[in-house]
A and B are shown apart, each in its own frame.
Chain A
């Protein structure tokens, strides 16, 4: 059975070039970059090169790059490291649609006595910047708002947000885990103080992340230990993975145009054909401000897990915002925050593409998905009710 992998917002394939760069640093060059001897020194040089590549990708200075173990650690470090630097302030602003790596941290802080403002989104998943302006106070410690949503792909106006927040002198963090590699990021021209990325979302392996910290930003280390990362993150450097994410960032910069032309074209093709071929289909999220690779689509009157398993049976790997797939009983917090109706929220499917996808793969999905939806609708009690209500049977 062939595998059609369209779940790249969950994780991506390690690029062959990335793996190749990494391999010698498991076996041959295993030195500790902190060592004084040549054997560690040659490794230090590679780590510096990787840091420069990541910095170049983000339009940053190498000294502003901190390597972490994952996107979640980057987010935790940014939030908790800032709060620690401003112990007198007790207010956080975030949104209702953050990834749990941010959302569950702010919920936890809410229980610990912080005041947390969660900005709402509209039906298209867009923020109301006036609500943000009204929420900022002298007590506000940090604003943390994602760059682009992992489920819908909706891109927030991060630069505009940054300007509003910076005008008040408040630190601003953004979780750019889904944005990195898909849309241009340039911290030099940006108002962002801190930005998180994750290796395995851009063709580096799992287990490596980056936190960009603008020079001059107050920050206390989250992981306390040795002097590594200029004292901002203790722990011996994860050398092969750092080299991997360095290479991945170099490739991502090179592939950014391809991502926005080829991948976007494939996504738009899939988007249009599914809407055309399957009745009662809705696209979730603002189509005008959406990551080029992401398609969140809802099929009314059917349930997401059933769709995913039937797709999986054909080798197609996607994901869903339905309740049953998450192990919780309610559909995704993102779709609920957007007010997606229940007829559609439970039947949402996310396709997320990468540069490795092809038009043939899109055609394979377009061929097989309509009969799957029809089959499940034939089993669903609500579909016939709906057709009756429309006078169609």
Chain B
């Protein structure tokens, strides 16, 4: 059974904005019966060119219905410029996340929105202009490239989860690999050097919280992967006192771990003057 969030279940069991708007300002339909899911999105603008009303009809699984419902809640009240910036991640995040195998449902939402906005602007999203890479599900190189960029995808399996491309006969896997390589190269060139995490003057409470968060998110999972663990014992000014557990507690390179890994990470995320010290029981 899929591990759906409560929010997904809620939007599936109580979908919002179901239906079709007669005489809509914009309409978009993606997917098909053959593909196993499809979404028809219609919207109407108000006098300020904001989305006044938006409705969906979806054929598909629970996460497809929930993603469509979430999409309508997200874009209601937005201008089309704002709506055009909605990503599939926004939809997934709105639902508290989707199983990775179901991310294509959020992509379907974003694509329907794109088609609907284009239809309002009198443009057409022409599939014919692009190469159909996956014949089983009719996915183009443009759609694959878009999903790779928007979701930072790295493998064929991920591309399949997000776009369905490659989920049928599998003949297109080499093509998908080539697209991943090409797009990732482009992304590397375009990407600015990773921004340094912003460090601001922290109150003591903020600092303690941030140290705890950083330990929990960045440091402990990495230690656990090697069978180790760490407990935060106390914080005195800039001194962070920790006790090493698990395999770390008798590891000969524990000192190096502490200084080069734990301290470096805390300095990166919390403050440049953090000093980590080990407390032994």
Contact = CB atoms under 8 A, between A and B. Distances in A.
A328 B170 CA distance: 12
A128 interface: no
A322 interface: yes
Given A306-B60, A322-B61, A329 B33 contact: no
A176 interface: no
Interface in B97-119: 101-102
Contacts of B65: 306, 379
| Residue of B20, B37, B59 with most partner-chain A CB within 10 A | B59
A224 interface: no
B43 interface: no
Contacts of B147: none
Contacts of B60: 303, 306, 324
Given A380-B59, A381-B29, A329 B160 contact: yes
A351 interface: no
A348 to B, nearest CB: 12
Interface stretch (B10-18, B123-131, B238-246, B256-264): B10-18
A26 interface: no
Contact of A342 (B18, B29, B33, B62): B33
B40 A381 contact: yes
Contacts of B12: 306, 309
B31 to A, nearest CB: 9
Interface string B57-82: 11111111100000000000000000
A299 to B, nearest CB: 12
Chain A contact residues: helix, strand, loop or mixed: helix
Contacts of B40: 381
Chain B contact residues: helix, strand, loop or mixed: mixed
A301 B101 CA distance: 22
Interface string A368-385: 000000000011111010
A313 B60 CA distance: 18
Interface in A332-379: 342-343, 346, 378-379
Contacts of B37: 303, 324
B168 to A, nearest CB: 6
B92 to A, nearest CB: 16
B196 to A, nearest CB: 40
A92 interface: no
A87 interface: no
A323 B62 contact: no
| Residue of B63, B65, B102, B168 with most partner-chain A CB within 10 A | B65
A302 interface: yes
Nearest to A380: B59
Given A329-B167, A331-B36, A382 B59 contact: yes
Interface string A241-279: 000000000000000000000000000000000000000
A370 to B, nearest CB: 18
Interface residues of B, number: 31
A301 B33 contact: yes
Contacts of B63: 324
A107 to B, nearest CB: 12
Nearest to B105: A324
Contacts of A301: 33, 59
A327 interface: yes
Contact of A381 (B2, B36, B59): B59
Contacts of B36: 303, 322-324, 329-331, 342, 346
A380 B58 contact: yes
Interface string B141-175: 00000000000000000001000100110000000
Contacts of B20: 381, 384
B62 A381 contact: no
B34 interface: yes
A73 interface: no
Contacts of B102: 324
Contacts of B270: none
Nearest to A312: B1
A380 B57 contact: yes
A197 B47 CA distance: 69
Given A343-B33, A346-B33, A330 B136 contact: yes
A329 B164 contact: yes
B163 to A, nearest CB: 10
Interface string A289-319: 0000000000001111110011001000000
22 contacts: A303-B36, A303-B61, A304-B61, A306-B61, A306-B62, A306-B65, A323-B36, A324-B36, A324-B60, A324-B63, A324-B102, A329-B36, A329-B136, A329-B160, A330-B167, A330-B168, A379-B59, A380-B57, A380-B59, A381-B57, A382-B38, A382-B59
Given A324-B37, A329-B137, 10 more contacts: A301-B59, A303-B37, A305-B2, A322-B61, A324-B61, A329-B164, A330-B168, A343-B33, A380-B59, A381-B57
Interface of B: 2, 12-13, 15, 18, 20, 29, 33-34, 36-40, 57-65, 101-102, 136-137, 160, 164, 167-168
Interface of A: 301-306, 309-310, 313, 322-325, 327-331, 342-343, 346, 378-382, 384
